[in-house]
Amino acid sequence: MSTYRSLSDPELVDLLKSGDQAAFTEIYDRYWSIMYAHAYKMIKNREEAKDLIQEIFSTLWLKSHLLTEDTNVSGYLYTAARNRVFNLMSQHKTRHDYFNAIARFATEESTATIEHLEERDLEAAVEREIQLLPPKMREIFELSRKQNLSHKEIAEQLNLSDQTVKKQVQNALKILKPRLRDAGTGIAILLFFR
């Protein structure tokens, strides 16, 4: 094992590509604490930082055969960590926080200003909630609201009864309205779900 400590990163990568577990262990030992500190600095959560770094090293081991001879292992690990941190941060941007920001803005500003809310942000908020609907309900709802198809047209297209389509749209509205209203986007609901 001590012989591996004296190897350079490119030498370790070369051994790792052939499935050398000792080379992987040396890379792990060499970079784990640095990568953990890097991830923790960005996400400020010890457990999530540990999990994130474990995933990166697991992926490195599982995909080691895909590495090239000129792979810079430290660059590879830093890039992987940065990308996973960004993904994690976007997941943490919870809907609740997003909707609270819109609600705060709406209560602080005049009705005239509310009209100037960026339409795409509003649409994105509504779209996120639509994507959480059950698949068949979402499909029917999108055909109704986005493609402006009648219940009859949707029923024919999906080989369903008119009544089933009507019920699915009603159920979707029952789910969506409270979620969006509770999150402070009541104005958006009136515009989108009239």
Instruction: List the domain boundaries for the chain.
Output: 2-92, 95-192
Percentage of residues of the chain with pLDDT beyond 70 = 72
* C-alpha distances in Å from residue 140, one per residue of 126, 128, 145: 16, 16, 9
Structurally, what CATH architecture does the domain formed by 2-92 represent?
A: Orthogonal Bundle (1.10)
pLDDT tops 70 at residue 30: yes
Q: pTM of the entire structure?
A: 0.48
pLDDT tops 50 at residue 110: no
- For 54-74, the pLDDT digits (tens) are 999 999 999 998 888 788 998
What single letter denotes the amino acid at residue 85? V
Fold classified for 95-192: Arc Repressor Mutant, subunit A (1.10.10)
pLDDT tops 50 at residue 156: yes
What whole-number distance in Å separates Cα of residue 190 and Cα of residue 194? 6
2-92 and 95-192 agree in CATH topology: no
